[in-house]
Chain A
Amino acid sequence: MSAWRQAGLSYINYSNIAAKVLRRSLKPEFRSEALKRDESHVRITPWANGRPARKYI
């Protein structure tokens, strides 16, 4: 088992970090456009017993 999975990360987390580093390592002319794909604005609300529970992310 890889170290990151033992630390509680999923491959999606891994992928996000990897993509982030790659975007930062681009030549300046491509970088600003790529950095737009860095941040997600979606808000997640978990539900329990038919109503929204606490908020996170």
Chain B
Amino acid sequence: MVQLKQVSMRLKSIHNIQKITKTMKMVSASKFTKAERELKSARAFGYGPRKFYVSSQLQKEALGKEKEKEGERELAQPPEVKKEDVKKPRIIYVAVTSDRGLCGGVHSGIARMIRRTLAERSADAPHHKIVCIGDKSRSLLRLAYGEHILVSVKQIGRTSPIFKDASTVATAITQSGYAYDTAEIYYNQYFTPVKYVTTIVPAFSRKNIELAPKMTAFDDIEEDQLESYAEWTLAALLYYALKQSAASEQSSRMSAMDNATKNANEMIRKLSLLYNRTRQAVITRELIEIISGAAALK
């Protein structure tokens, strides 16, 4: 027989949990609206560099087809990096997550994808470096790939990301002294409030841009200026990825918390039923005792 007291305590605690998840949902809903609005102005920062990578054929992706559709959705498939022209590419993997959890599979999706890529390319392992943006990716990757971590970044996700955040990270990557060929940025591309896709966007170093197949079609550019271009483009792409990731995270947290609230509701319903039944059973038993006691006295 379930103790009445236990059931009522459990019921109370679930009521409290539901209150918390409900509040978290409302908070992330308002943060999400802001993130989505700001994402609109950040889209160009992803579009510009990618457009150039395609037109210089650093990336093979045909952007022409997407152009008409670009309004509703951007590149659905992560663009493949051209592998042939660099034998042992020095790649920096940038994992864009945040410090906060409770948002579904947003962060673990990023970590999983990086782990899979690293396992596939394990032959070039010594050339791989990881940059962890957000505590979550750091704790998810440090056990298996701690040796490869170059820089980790915290205090992400408290406020909405600004360009300065991206440029701080880009500066840290540049200052780390690791001469990379390509930086692959892993982030969650936001589509709709219920859909995000883990996506890779590459950022190329100056050397790689110089070697681009169609670079000859471009006007001559001083080395110094190209270096600046590559540096700034890394910051721009990071900014874009941070914004996308923020929107995906908030939308995902919103639905995660919505589900949690619904689950709590369901539990409350079941527990109240159990509580009422148990209470009724206790009353009935007491009545039987009284009645049968009275009958015995007759």
Stretch among B73-81, B197-205, B228-236 lining the A interface: B228-236
Cβ of B258 within 8 Å of any chain A Cβ, yes or no, is no
**Is B156 a contact of A42 with CB atoms below 8 Å?**
yes
Stretch among B84-92, B161-169, B273-281 lining the A interface: B161-169
Cβ of B172 within 8 Å of any chain A Cβ, yes or no, is yes
- Which residues of A (1-53) have their CB < 8 Å from a CB of B? 1-2, 5, 10-16, 19, 36-47, 49-52
Q: How far is the CA of A45 from the CA of B142 in the complex (A)?
A: 13
Cβ of B54 within 8 Å of any chain A Cβ, yes or no, is no
| Shortest distance between the CB of A7 and any CB in chain B (Å) | 14
Which of A2, A13, A44, A57: most chain B Cβ within 10 A? A44
**Is A42 a contact of B232 with CB atoms below 8 Å?**
no
Q: Which residues of B contact A38 (CB under 8 A)?
A: 164
**Is B172 a contact of A46 with CB atoms below 8 Å?**
yes
Stretch among B146-154, B187-195, B211-219, B259-267 lining the A interface: B146-154
Q: How far is the CA of A45 from the CA of B164 in the complex (A)?
A: 17
Q: How far is the CA of A4 from the CA of B85 in the complex (A)?
A: 33
Query: In the complex, how many residues of chain B place their beta carbon closer than 8 angstroms to a beta carbon of chain A?
Result: 32
Q: Which residue of B lies closest to A39 (CB)?
A: B164
Interface size class of A (residues with CB under 8 A): 20 to 34
**Is A44 a contact of B153 with CB atoms below 8 Å?**
yes
Q: Which residues of B contact A14 (CB under 8 A)?
A: 228
**Is B172 a contact of A44 with CB atoms below 8 Å?**
yes
**Is A47 a contact of B149 with CB atoms below 8 Å?**
yes
Q: Which residues of A contact B149 (CB under 8 A)?
A: 47, 50
> Contact check: which of B154, B171, B224 meets A13 at CB < 8 Å?
B171
Cβ of B176 within 8 Å of any chain A Cβ, yes or no, is yes
| Shortest distance between the CB of B34 and any CB in chain A (Å) | 13
Q: Which residues of A contact B158 (CB under 8 A)?
A: 41
> Contact check: which of A16, A51, A52 meets B164 at CB < 8 Å?
A16
Q: How far is the CA of A16 from the CA of B239 in the complex (A)?
A: 14
Known contacts A1-B224, A39-B164, A41-B158, A46 near B170 by CB under 8 Å:
no
**Is A45 a contact of B146 with CB atoms below 8 Å?**
no
Q: Which residues of A contact B170 (CB under 8 A)?
A: 12
Q: Which residues of A contact B168 (CB under 8 A)?
A: 40, 42, 44, 57
| Shortest distance between the CB of A6 and any CB in chain B (Å) | 10
**Is B151 a contact of A46 with CB atoms below 8 Å?**
yes
Chain A proximity mask over B174-189: 1 for CB below 8 Å, otherwise 0: 1010000000000000
**Is A44 a contact of B151 with CB atoms below 8 Å?**
yes
| Shortest distance between the CB of A39 and any CB in chain B (Å) | 7
The residues of B with any CB-CB pair to A shorter than 8 Å are 142, 146-147, 149-156, 158-159, 162-165, 167-172, 174, 176, 224, 227-229, 231-232, 235
Pairs of residues from A and B, 4 with the lowest C-beta to C-beta distance, nearest first? A11-B228, A50-B146, A40-B164, A47-B149
